[in-house]
Amino acid sequence: MITKIALRNLTEHRSKTLIVGGLIALGVTLLVMGNSIMDSISVGLRHSFTEQYSGDIFIYAPVEDEGDLSIFGSFGTDGVQALERFDEFAGQLAAQANVQSVSPTTVGRGILETNQGEQGGSLFWGIDPTVWQHSFAQPLTWLEGGLWSGDAPSIALSIGVADALAEAQGSPIKVGETLLITVMGDNGIKIREVTISGLFAFKTIAAPQLELMSLVDLKTSQALLSLNHQQVIEVQLSAAESEILGQVTEDSLFGEATLMGTAAPDLFGNGSSLITPELSNESVVAEPIALAAHSSPGVAAHVTLPVQAQFAVLLLDNPADVAVTQERLQAWVDANDLNWRVGDWTQAAGFIGNLVGGIKLILNGLVVLVAFVATLIIMNTLVISVTERLQEIGTMRAIGAQKAFVRKMILTETLILALASALVGVLVGTVALWLISINGLPAANDIIKILFGGDALYPSVSVSAVLQAVSMMTLGAVLACLYPLGIALKVSPLKAMQG
């Protein structure tokens, strides 16, 4: 009964119905388009940051000013520290709920020197190629070669770094050539030779540092950054092995040898050189010294280099639960008494992540502002509409209609009008987004490219945006009619009939 009356009233007051309905449809259209574009931007941001290098979760060792820390390093007074006991807890971390992959990462700045002696600077991440290939290889464009395999010291050069070196030496940088990396730190100067495995470019330059960011194998980066703390593990020897190695002692190594010259005859024979050209690397020299120092009869010491990382970059199975996962991981870290901090992609991205987050917040604010203004306009229109119907309402009450009946009738009218108009708004918004997606929204500058995740944004209709728009505008329309309805019901039937 009330529904029929409400439909009749909407038909009789066609002009007011079209005005209010048009405003609601416009509000829904703007909200559907705005929220869908924002959801598409969220996908673009994920492509620009989380899928490219920052991950969903970023674990790091705390520093005094965490605002200076990102996956590109620290710009404050504190250096980037290694995650304590990472090798011990890496497996447990990877087994946590919602964790898809864990990528141990180091970061450094070094000087690259070509075979011709030309030099150039580069940032570098130390990575595990297997994990990186699984997690972050898709956003890379390989111009030549690819990621390395195996344990050989290797580097994949950013095309920006490769072009600078090529210009300096007057010839192209080629895959298979070797480079020297020099890193100067608190522990002195570290130099390592690496082989170029490939030349690449990031598909989206989400931060200016990416143009200078190369990839180095994790073990080499550990050595360059003085993170390679040795672990000595005792291994039981067989009788034959004990007989061969039983005479290796500190005296046999150093007792009759010059500082960098010949060794004791009983160990190497007459005049054998302790350091040969093939075994000149300091890590190779250090290992037999450590073996001798820790050996005992029947027991040999095996020296290993545990995985050391300054950061752990995590991708999640369900990125929508990043906040819950972050909180749960921090609780797990605290329970294991680890001096780690668990952040999100904005911490990893650093300043540029905070800047983009601020821009997104502003855009979200604009969408909310549109909804608020639309609600105010609808409310004012309904005030006029209900006020013009005071005589009609007064007549209904004079012939016996109760306030509850009148209230229910007006609310039903508003609800029907809001839902019908919202449906029209959804259809218009969907068609508009489809038309935009044909050619895409072009990115006007580099910041917009980061937001869009590329040179253009191709928005699609978001189900959550539709539900939010319909519910928001319908609720807004119903709430907007309560004020004029309350005023109308306070007027006596006699005064209402008199107009």
pLDDT for the residue 280: 39
CA–CA separation, 177 and 161 (whole Å): 15
Q: Within 13 Å and on the Cβ side, how many CA atoms surround 341?
A: 18
Statement to judge: residues 274 and 379 lie in one domain: no
Statement to judge: residues 458 and 484 lie in one domain: yes
CA–CA distances in Å: residue 465 to residues 33, 34, 328, 460? 8, 8, 29, 10
Structural domain of residue 330, as residue ranges? 62-229+308-339
Residue 42 counted as domain residue:
yes
Average predicted confidence (pLDDT) for the chain: 79
Query: Burial code of 374-406, b = ≥16 C-beta within 10 A, e = fewer?
Result: bbebbbebbbebbeebbebbbebbeeeeeeeeb
- Is a pLDDT exceeding 80 seen at residue 340? yes
CA–CA separation, 473 and 174 (whole Å): 60
- Is a pLDDT exceeding 60 seen at residue 257? no
For 193-202, 242-251, 400-409, 479-488, which range has the lowest pLDDT when averaged over its residues?
A: 242-251
Segment 368-378, tens digit of pLDDT:
887 788 778 87
CA–CA distances in Å: residue 144 to residues 78, 88, 162, 173, 193? 37, 36, 11, 10, 20
Q: How does residue 436 score in pLDDT terms, banded at 50, 70 and 90?
A: very high
Residue 56 counted as domain residue:
no
CA–CA separation, 261 and 206 (whole Å): 53
Statement to judge: residues 224 and 126 lie in one domain: yes
- Is a pLDDT exceeding 60 seen at residue 479? yes
User: Angle between the 14-45 and 403-439 helix axes, to the nearest 10 degrees?
Assistant: 50
pLDDT for the residue 278: 38
Residue 344 counted as domain residue:
no
Region 324-340 average pLDDT: 95
Of 74-88, 238-252, 273-287, 439-453, which one has max mean pLDDT? 439-453
Statement to judge: residues 89 and 181 lie in one domain: yes
Segment 209-218, tens digit of pLDDT:
888 999 999 9
**Selected residue with higher pLDDT from 249 and 294:** 249
- Is a pLDDT exceeding 90 seen at residue 196? yes
Statement to judge: residues 190 and 328 lie in one domain: yes
Of 65-69, 76-80, 428-432, which one has max mean pLDDT? 428-432
Statement to judge: residues 376 and 335 lie in one domain: no
Q: How does residue 270 score in pLDDT terms, banded at 50, 70 and 90?
A: very low
Statement to judge: residues 88 and 178 lie in one domain: yes
Residue 251 is encoded by which pair of tokens?
A: 């005296």
- Is a pLDDT exceeding 80 seen at residue 195? yes
Statement to judge: residues 244 and 203 lie in one domain: no
CA–CA separation, 411 and 419 (whole Å): 12
CA–CA distances in Å: residue 156 to residues 138, 142, 199, 212, 251? 15, 10, 6, 12, 44
- Is a pLDDT exceeding 70 seen at residue 274? no
CA–CA separation, 202 and 428 (whole Å): 37
Residue 347 counted as domain residue:
no
Of 80, 131, 135, 128, the residue nearest 108 (C-alpha): 80
Statement to judge: residues 159 and 45 lie in one domain: no
- Is a pLDDT exceeding 70 seen at residue 262? no
- Is a pLDDT exceeding 70 seen at residue 296? no
Region 100-112 average pLDDT: 93
- Is a pLDDT exceeding 90 seen at residue 268? no
For 66-70, 201-205, 266-270, 463-467, which range has the lowest pLDDT when averaged over its residues?
A: 266-270
- Is a pLDDT exceeding 90 seen at residue 122? yes
Q: Which percentage of the chain shows pLDDT scores above 70?
A: 81
Question: Could you tell me how many residues make up the chain?
Answer: 499
CA–CA separation, 56 and 50 (whole Å): 5
Segment 134-179, tens digit of pLDDT:
888 777 889 999 999 888 999 999 999 999 999 999 999 999 999 9
- Is a pLDDT exceeding 90 seen at residue 199? yes
Total number of domains constituting the chain: 3
